[in-house]
Amino acid sequence: MTHSEQLDRTFAALADPTRRAILTRLASGEASVNDLAKPFSISQPAISKHLKVLERAGLISRGRDAQRRPRRIEAKPLADANSWLERYRQFWEGSFQRLDDLLDELKIREKKTKKHGRAKRARGEQR
């Protein structure tokens, strides 16, 4: 699979809330299909379908225990998708922190202008 195809599958797999919830659960340790189905109000076959999508995307794999066949999370593809998002974060976090400061300044300036306007009107001056 090329890097690009891998990213397609990762994002497609992550585009579903149930699958994201499954990954969140697996992030804290491996679990059987039964365990994974418990918190959801959907059937076990439906969960199995979601697990298949995650498995095809390489985001989860099966453990050795043949009876329970526990699923566990695969870190690498998730880390790749995350490093892509990290670039966004870096660009925008730096920008937005400066914007916070600017907005504070604009708020203060606006308050001053309002006060100034009121004082002028109180003195009977024309605007």
Partner 1 sequence: MNNTGTLKVTTPTDREVVMTRVFDAPRRLVFEAFSKPELLKRWFGPRGWSLVVCEVDFRVGGGFRFVLRGPDGREMGMRGVYREIVPPERSVHMESFDDYPGSDSQVTGVFVEQGGKTTLTTTVLYSSKEVRDIVLKSGMEHGAAESYDRLAELLASEKAAA
Residues forming contacts to partner 1 in the complex (CB under 8 A) are: 4, 7-8, 11-12, 14-15, 81, 84-85, 87-104, 106-107, 110
Q: Which is nearer to partner 1, 75 or 108 (CB)?
A: 108
- Nearest to residue 78, comparing CAs of 10, 5, 9? 10
Shortest Å, Cβ 10 to partner 1: 8
In sign, the C-alpha dihedral spanning 85, 29, 77, 68 is negative
Q: Which is nearer to partner 1, 70 or 77 (CB)?
A: 77
Shortest Å, Cβ 8 to partner 1: 6
Burial class (CB in 10 A: 0-12, 13-18, 19+), 37: buried
What are 115's two structure tokens? 């006060």
Q: Which is nearer to partner 1, 46 or 106 (CB)?
A: 106
d(CA 105, CA 99): 10
Shortest Å, Cβ 91 to partner 1: 5
